[in-house]
Structure 1
Amino acid sequence: MRTWYGAAGICINEQNELLMVLQGKPEERKSWSVPSGGLEKNETFEECCIREVEEETGYVVEIEKKVKIKKGMNCYDPIPYQVHYFLVSLTGGTKTIQDPDHLIYEIDWKSTEDLFNLLLTFPEDRSFLIELLNSVSL
Structure 2
Amino acid sequence: MSEYKKPLPKPDPITAPFWESVKAHAMKIQRCNDTGKFFFYPRGLSPFTLSDNVSWEPVSGRGVVHAFTIVYQNRDPAFAEEVPYVVAIVELEEGARLMSTLVDVEPDPEHVRIGMPVEVVYDDVTEEITLPHFRPVRAD
TM-score scaled by structure 2? 0.27
Q: Which has the larger radius of gyration?
A: 2
Q: TM-score, structure 1 length as denominator? A: 0.27
